[in-house]
Every structure is written in C-alpha cells, then in structure tokens.
Amino acid sequence: MSKLLTLFLCLCFHVANVTAASIGGAGSSAAAPLYNKWAVAYSKKSDLIFAYQPVGSSAGIKQIKARTVDFGASDVAMTVADLKREGLIQFPSAISGVVPVVNLPGIKTGQLKLTGELLAGIFSRTITQWNDPAITALNPDLRLPKKTIEVIVRQDGSGTTYNFTDYLAKLSKSWQSTYGRNFTIKWHAELTQVKGSSGISAALKKTPYAISYIDYNYVLQDDLDSVVLKNRENKFVAPSAEAFASALNNSAWKTKGSFEEMLTDRPGIISWPITMGTFVMIPQSAKDSLKTIATLKFFTWSFMSGDHLVNSVDMVRLPDNIQARVFKEMMTVTDSNGKPLQWTPQ
C-alpha cells in the first residue's frame, strides 16, 4: 500500500471502537484460499471469528441477496442495476485466472498448446479425440494419443465457469450462439459434471485423457498439468501472476480505476487470456451495524496490511487506484437509518 493511500485512509475514516464476535461469507471457491489466509493473519490482531463457505459464485450472490451472510463473493461483478436493486455495494479483492488443465499420460504441464477455438470445440464435443487433426497441427512435436477426450465441467453455479465461457464466446461464434456465457451452462450430455473447484481437481486426477478448467491457485496447490494458450497477440502464454497482471494493466481497471469490465481476452504480449477479478458484495444499508463494521474492518486491514499475502496464494494485488476506489465505496455504507457508519481501520 502506498504512503499516499494510507494517508488518504487516515483522513477519511471516522474513529470508533467497535468489536464484533463473528462474520460469515459465502461464494467464490477461487477466493477461498485468500480470504482464509487473510483471516488467519487478521486473527492475530483481532478477536474476530471468520467463517467462509466456498459454495460457488452463484450461491454467494444468492446468499448476500437473501442477507443470510455478511458478505457474498463472486468471480463475476454484479451489474450496477442489480446492485442498486438489491441494495448492495461491490468491490474487487484480487486478480486471478482460469486455467485449462489436462490429465494426459506422457505429456507434461505447459507442453500442450490450445486456442480458444479449439477449447470451444472440445467442450461442445465437436472435437472428441486427442489426435484430432486440428490439435495435432498445433502440437506437431507431441505424440497425442488416439483416445477420446474426457471432458469434466462444473455443475454448480460458478464464476470460474462464467469467465471460462465468456472467453469461449469471444473466440467462437458457434459457442456464443449455442451456449453463451453464464454461471451455469446446459452442457453436452456426454460431459462429466462435478461440484466445486476441489471436485474438478479430484475428478481430473483420477480420469486419464481428461480436460477441465479451474482456478489458477488450485493448479499449483494440487499440482495439476496446465496448457498454454494463444492470446490476443497470437502468442502462446502460460498462466502466471505476471500474465494476469499484464491483462489487468491492459484494461480500464488500471487506466480508469474501473472494475466493471471482464478481463478475458485483453491485449498484451504476455497477457493470460482468461484472467478474472474476484469480488465482494455487502449491503449498502447495514441491518446489523456491528457485523457490517467488522466486515469493512476485515477487508480494509486485508488491503492495508495483507497485500503481501495475495501473491502467496498466486493471485495479484489490486493497484492503488483500484484500492482507493474500493475504500470510497466502503465509506458509502450506512446504518439502517441512513447515517454513515462510524468506524476506523483495525
């Protein structure tokens, strides 16, 4: 965090002594490692009890709309209209990416080259064999097996699925017209459907000749084999924090402090084409001021003092101008009577 941004916070936040026993959140499975790591570090500074349910972005949005949790989490930003209708504010917490992963005996991570068009063909079942001419033409040095491609996908409502299908829709008109982009997809009947990122990882490991997609931190955590993808600059790139940062830097997130646009298929020589943000939603008007203040204090501390932990879970921290906008959003939260909440960073 920059000294300027820290000074901004000190000038803007009202001082108050607030203690809350616990807060609970639900949503993005991709964000779970980061939020849990922040919570462990924060517990050394506070008596807050933190609970998070990695139930998927779609379920997280539903739960915060129903006010059954103190914050919802999604890998897809809600629209301004939806936020206004539901009485919520929203801010990003970190940047990550979706990665196609394979279980191909004899082929190591980073060896298989794919494109968005090929992925669309594989996940729509118009391409069913690993030695399909279109795949072998792109990988002449690999001995691709004459085996059926086993495709594993998310069954539950997932921001990972939304970002993955958003990318496919941008690269394939056929995918756009047949499947589109969404948290849940009416997948081809031959695809294997499982719940959660951990479910994807487990199913992929026990299924030879399989392909799937998953959040980058699970690729490293579970030692999965990733592919390299052709990006918008026609360069084959591997997923990495640097590749996600490149996509971020070539977007309105960086130039305008705007985080409403998708980060898929961004320009940049090393940009990863399925980069995504992960977001937090909380009520604009606090039903329980103590819990809402505790939530705001937790995320403020995480940005101010927990930035170094973002890279440790293979995500990318938010630029300072984005963080400044986040804090301004936080300051708009009121109590049930419409008065600004009185609080200060932990």
CA pseudo-torsion sign 315, 330, 305, 11 = positive
Please check whether residue 207 lies inside any domain of the structure: yes
Beta bridge mates, 226: 101
Containing structural domain, residue 129:
97-237
pLDDT of 97 = 97
Please check whether residue 247 lies inside any domain of the structure: no
* CATH code (residue 179): 3.40.190.10
Q: CA torsion 125→126→127→133, rounded to 10°?
A: 180
Q: Are residues 170 and 211 in the same domain?
A: yes
Please check whether residue 251 lies inside any domain of the structure: no
Please check whether residue 253 lies inside any domain of the structure: no
Phi and psi of 79, rounded to 5°? -75, 160
Q: Are residues 143 and 193 in the same domain?
A: yes
pLDDT of 2 = 55
Q: Are residues 74 and 143 in the same domain?
A: no
Tell which residue, 84, 71, 79, 106, has the closest CA to residue 302. Answer: 71
Q: How many domains does the chain have?
A: 2
pLDDT of 250 = 94
Q: Are residues 127 and 204 in the same domain?
A: yes
Structure tokens at 344: 């200060």
Tens digit of pLDDT at every position of the chain (346 positions): 555 455 445 444 433 334 446 999 999 999 999 999 999 999 988 888 999 999 999 999 999 999 999 999 999 999 989 999 999 999 999 999 999 999 999 999 999 999 999 999 999 999 999 999 999 999 999 999 999 999 999 999 999 999 999 999 999 999 999 999 999 999 999 999 999 999 999 999 999 999 999 999 999 999 999 999 999 999 999 999 999 999 999 998 888 877 888 999 999 999 999 999 999 999 999 999 999 999 999 999 999 999 899 988 889 898 888 888 899 889 999 999 999 998 887 6
- Residue 6 makes CB contacts below 8 A (sequence gap 6+) with 304
Q: Are residues 40 and 132 in the same domain?
A: no
Q: What is the pTM of this model?
A: 0.88
pLDDT of 6 = 53
Whole-number Å distance between alpha carbons of 9 and 321? 13
Q: Are residues 127 and 189 in the same domain?
A: yes
> Which class for 339: exposed (0-12), middle (13-18), buried (19 or more C-beta within 10 A)?
exposed
Residue whose pair of structure tokens reads 């490692």 in the numeric block: 33
Q: Which pLDDT tens digit goes with each residue over 281-316?
A: 999 999 999 999 999 999 999 999 998 999 888 898
**Which whole-number Å values give the CA distances from 254 to 5, 33, 93, 120, 163, in the listed order?**
16, 25, 14, 29, 19
Whole-number Å distance between alpha carbons of 104 and 221? 19
Q: Are residues 121 and 212 in the same domain?
A: yes
Contact 145, 104 (CB under 8 A): yes
Please check whether residue 250 lies inside any domain of the structure: no
Residue whose pair of structure tokens reads 């972005």 in the numeric block: 57
Q: CA torsion 110→114→120→126, rounded to 10°?
A: -110
Whole-number Å distance between alpha carbons of 233 and 226? 20
Q: Are residues 120 and 212 in the same domain?
A: yes
